[in-house]
A = this chain, B = another copy of it.
Amino acid sequence: MPIPSTTVDAVLAKVDASLEQSLERLFELLRIKSISTDPAFADDCQKAADWLVNDLNGLGFDATARSTQGHPVVVGHDLSASGPHVLFYGHYDVQPVDPLNLWHTDPFEPQLKDGPHGKMIVARGSSDDKGQLLTFIEACRAWKAVHGALPVKVTLMLEGEEESGGKNLPPFMRDNARELTADIALVCDTDMWDRQTPSITTMLRGLVGQEIEITCASKDLHSGMFGNAARNPIQVLADIIASLRRPDGSVTLPGFYDDVAEVSDAVKAGWKNLGFDEAAFLGEAGLRIAAGEADRSVLEQVWARPTCEINGITGGYTGDGFKTVIPAKASAKISFRLVSGMDPQKIRAAFQAHVRAMIPADCSVSFKDHGASPAITVPSDGIYLKKALVALTDEWEKPAAITGSGGSIPVAGDFKKILGMDTLLIGFAHVDDAIHSPNEKYDLASFHGGIRSWVRILAGFAE
């Protein structure tokens, strides 16, 4: 049953008229120092959860802060509508603010400033993710204010540990699977394609993190006394790292590409239409030459191709000056970004076997695992995806893009694995939002347009 456009227009008008109050609420939430990774801010995390519970209950949701081993998960329901049921996900915790001296204003005293693209909200969490999650709540508020009800059943799940590992959320989801399962999950934690073009992210790479430590001698040695005869673990580690990538940028691990799903021609054609500027993308990082597989476009390299990255390395003397040591140990943090079809455990096993085969007989290696999540792909023919695309296109007056993301959002994998739901990743942030960095901001246009977008998406889902 189509919802009359006048019904939606009235809600959108309410959004426009209430923007100042919406901003005031966002500022209240931003003032709470909910840094989840630092135990000193545990009370602030509780305060943020309580603020959300209070706000949602004021809107007529049945909301509670549910305790976990860590920070609480806020769950709120309004299941009074007859339409389908959506589960909205966001997180109320934020990153630490160091280095504080690089902030131009207090990270927890939000400011509306003039930016290169209009007004912007400057504060820790403005974009990641308090501003984004509030776009959804404000959209619900406007629907309720105008029509007294939501057009669809809504459950919100707002966690407080996204920035600190999020280990407690999967068990919470398992324990409350019946309560949390809906028809579709909505996550508001991603970017628009550009300032004009809204986007739904349908591909997320998976991640396997692995730390390796090579031990050769039983103690640090003097390179004068032992140099040449004693095996150097940095050399062993470098040999291993060098062996992981071919000159053409491809990864050498046996079977690495066996299960890689190729992107369909249709999706590739869509990407082509995005007008992605490879030189500008690399140029933003101060680079000119793509380092990935030579026969793949940059967009394919980062969205749809697996990779191996060295995220950290250390061994021997790294202070000022020089010390002629042959260290006993050297270690590296290595990660693999995975794409659809790849099995994280299989990749981890292939990597470990490859490393073990390169360790000299009198040396040893130890492994420390750091997470393993598969890639996520949202079926491109899903009904909710189609409806969300229409709603976003109506709001921004430009066809919404279907994009990939090189990063990983593990919760999307958990929605699929634990609750059997697909996820739509719809966000209004921009690459210049400086999330996790000093002077984080969220464009006022993102906040306002985000609220309006959700108003339309909820209406679309109800039809």
Residues of A within 8 A of B (CB): 205, 207, 209, 211, 216-219, 221-232, 234-235, 237-239, 241-245, 249, 281-282, 285-293, 298, 301-302, 305-307, 309-318, 321-328, 330, 332-333, 335, 337, 360-363, 370-371, 405-408, 431
5 A-B pairs within 8 Å (CB atoms) are namely A218-B286, A230-B291, A242-B242, A289-B362, A311-B323
Closest to A436 in B: B222
Q: Which residues of B contact A325 (CB under 8 A)?
A: 311-312
Tell me whether B292 and A224 are in contact (CB under 8 A): no
Closest to A371 in B: B322
- Partner of A217 from B234, B238, B285, B408 at Cβ < 8 Å: B285
What is the CA–CA distance of A455 and B234 in the complex, to the nearest angstrom? 46
What is the CA–CA distance of A226 and B307 in the complex, to the nearest angstrom? 10
- A309/B406 contact (C-beta < 8 A), A224-B337, A285-B218, A285-B226 known: no
Q: Which residues of B contact A322 (CB under 8 A)?
A: 209, 211, 311, 333, 335, 370-371
- Partner of A224 from B225, B249, B360, B407 at Cβ < 8 Å: B407
Copies of this protein in the complex:
2
- A309/B242 contact (C-beta < 8 A), A207-B324, A370-B322 known: no
Tell me whether B292 and A229 are in contact (CB under 8 A): yes
A288-B362, A311-B322 known, 11 other contacts, Cβ within 8 Å: A207-B324, A227-B335, A228-B302, A228-B337, A235-B241, A238-B313, A288-B361, A289-B361, A310-B315, A312-B317, A323-B333
Q: Which residues of B contact A333 (CB under 8 A)?
A: 316-318, 322-323
Q: Which residues of B contact A226 (CB under 8 A)?
A: 285, 302, 406
Closest to A288 in B: B362
CB proximity of A226 to chain B, nearest CB, Å? 6
Tell me whether A324 and B311 are in contact (CB under 8 A): yes
Q: Which residues of B contact A234 (CB under 8 A)?
A: 241, 310, 312-313, 332
Tell me whether A313 and B305 are in contact (CB under 8 A): no
Tell me whether A229 and B362 are in contact (CB under 8 A): no
Tell me whether A405 and B235 are in contact (CB under 8 A): no
Tell me whether A314 and B313 are in contact (CB under 8 A): yes
Q: Which residues of B contact A323 (CB under 8 A)?
A: 311-312, 333
What is the CA–CA distance of A230 and B302 in the complex, to the nearest angstrom? 9
What is the CA–CA distance of A112 and B333 in the complex, to the nearest angstrom? 47
Tell me whether A228 and B301 are in contact (CB under 8 A): yes
Q: Which residues of B contact A290 (CB under 8 A)?
A: 229
Q: Which residues of B contact A312 (CB under 8 A)?
A: 234, 315-318, 323, 325, 327
Q: Which residues of B contact A223 (CB under 8 A)?
A: 309, 311, 335, 337, 406
10 nearest CB pairs, A to B? A224-B407, A218-B286, A242-B242, A238-B241, A312-B316, A228-B307, A228-B292, A288-B362, A234-B310, A322-B370
What is the CA–CA distance of A237 and B238 in the complex, to the nearest angstrom? 8
Which interface residue of A219, A238, A405 has the most chain B CB atoms within 10 A? A238
What is the CA–CA distance of A26 and B113 in the complex, to the nearest angstrom? 72
What is the CA–CA distance of A326 and B72 in the complex, to the nearest angstrom? 32
CB proximity of A413 to chain B, nearest CB, Å? 14
What is the CA–CA distance of A325 and B309 in the complex, to the nearest angstrom? 9
CB proximity of A220 to chain B, nearest CB, Å? 10
Q: Which residues of B contact A318 (CB under 8 A)?
A: 312-314, 333
Q: Which residues of B contact A285 (CB under 8 A)?
A: 217-219, 221, 226, 230
Tell me whether B235 and A310 are in contact (CB under 8 A): yes
